[in-house]
Amino acid sequence: MQKVILLCLLISLSAKAYNQIIKGTIFDNKTKEIVYSASVYINGTSVGTLSDQNGNFKLDISKYRSMPLTISAIGYYSTTFKDFQAGKPLLVYLNPKTFELDEVVVNAKAHPLQRRENLTIFRNEFLGTTSNSLNCKIMNEDDIRFKYSSDRDTLRAFATKPILIENKALGYYITYFLDKFEYDKQSKSYFFSGNIIFNEDSTKDEKRKRLLENRRKYAYLGSRMHFFRALWLNDLGENGFFVRNTANETLSSDKIVFIKDSHTKYLSYHTNLGISYYTKQPTSFVIFKKSQVYFDASGYYDPSLISWEGEISRKRIADQLPFEFFIK
């Protein structure tokens, strides 16, 4: 409990030190016309707003100053800003999505059996296959289109609108802006990327509140967020994590964390890493794409710089929690 309080204080102090309100205007990069009703948000949180009829927006990002700002809109690719200054308005130019829908040939009317098969693949790889995924529903599956590569080994998915998900297991309504989804049928490997906004179930039922609290706690323990928060506090062992290199040597936090300053840390090591969570041998694995992976006290990390294998990778959208979540 003391560690949780310390982590909350760290984030609170960081928020006070970096109090900021970001303003800006959003345009179509091709036509230069304004884009209204675009979502402006901190990816992985419930912190966000919409651009107005003049394309303008204003958002308080005090609590998440170290995290990038994301802008998404229907019909456009999302864009992310990692470096921005308070008091200096952002001019945002969104690129229209250019995938050719006439090439996305797998649709409900022409190929109903194949589409059902592809939707099953998509649900399993996108939502995951944990118990929470069974109580997760994609509300607008008709907006998802599929296309096979020429060798018919790689399935790609496109979403003409944000994917709307009701997660009854954890009590969240999720909006997901899908940028890319690929599934290789031969290797059974997958990759998807995008941005996510959470809205919490505002239930008044005390019994359901307790149930959701327990489920969220279970989803959090052993998760990526849990790992990076423990790593930030230099407290892996007390949180049940052990990190080993390819020689099966146990590594302490100081061997794998590069500290730039009090607000900036990087996960860094010269080989991939195995992670144990209350097990003798690693059940999850960190695969580095870059030599240094930025992370912060909230548990945020740059997902483009790292990939996961093993048990921890089974927790996908159905088990994802907003960065506002803390164990009570």
162 and 181 co-located in one domain? yes
CA gap 161, 315 in Å, rounded: 24
pLDDT of residue 209: 92
- Taking only the tens place, the pLDDT of each residue in 88-119 is 889 999 999 875 444 444 554 557 888 899 99
> Quick check: is 170 in a domain?
yes
| Number of Cβ atoms within 10 Å of the Cβ of 97 | 15
> Quick check: is 323 in a domain?
no
> Quick check: is 325 in a domain?
no
Phi, psi (deg, nearest 5) at residue 304? -75, -10
Q: Which residues pair with 96 in a beta bridge?
A: 76
Q: Please state the domain count of the chain.
A: 3
Tell me whether residue 152 is exposed, middle or buried, using C-beta atoms within 10 angstroms of its C-beta: 0 to 12, 13 to 18, 19 or more.
Answer: exposed
Position 295: which residue type?
F
110 and 80 co-located in one domain? no
107 and 180 co-located in one domain? yes
- Listed in sequence order, the residues at least 6 apart from 70 whose beta carbon sits closer than 8 Å to its beta carbon are 39, 40, 41, 42, 43, 78, 79, 80, 81, 195
128 pLDDT band, cuts 50/70/90, is very high
DSSP 159-188: ESSPEEEEETTTTEEEEEEEEEEEEETTTT
pLDDT of residue 86: 64
Contact of 300 with 232, CB cutoff 8 Å: no
CA gap 308, 267 in Å, rounded: 14
pLDDT of residue 99: 58
**In terms of Cα–Cα distance, which of 104, 281, 79, 116 is closest to 194?**
79
Residue 46 maps to which CATH number? 2.60.40.1120
> Quick check: is 213 in a domain?
no
> Quick check: is 34 in a domain?
yes
The better pLDDT of the pair 2, 55 is held by: 55
177 and 262 co-located in one domain? no
> Quick check: is 327 in a domain?
no
* E strand or H helix at 260: strand 257-261
pTM: 0.86
Range of the domain at 143: 101-200
pLDDT of residue 203: 79
pLDDT of residue 109: 54
* Domain stop point among 66, 94, 122: 94
pLDDT of residue 88: 82
* Domain stop point among 145, 168, 200: 200
- Taking only the tens place, the pLDDT of each residue in 172-202 is 999 999 999 999 988 989 999 999 999 998 8
Six-digit token string for 76 = 């456009």
> Quick check: is 328 in a domain?
no
CA gap 55, 38 in Å, rounded: 8
Question: Mean per-residue pLDDT for 146-151?
Answer: 80
CA gap 101, 105 in Å, rounded: 8
Contact of 147 with 105, CB cutoff 8 Å: yes
Tell me whether residue 53 is exposed, middle or buried, using C-beta atoms within 10 angstroms of its C-beta: 0 to 12, 13 to 18, 19 or more.
Answer: exposed
* Domain stop point among 74, 94, 114: 94
3 pLDDT band, cuts 50/70/90, is low
> Quick check: is 206 in a domain?
no
Percent of the chain with pLDDT over 90: 71
**In terms of Cα–Cα distance, which of 235, 221, 241, 227 is closest to 298?**
227
Helix/strand/coil percentages in the chain, nearest 5: 25, 35, 35
Alpha helices, H only, 151-289: 206-220, 224-232, 253-256
89 and 107 co-located in one domain? no
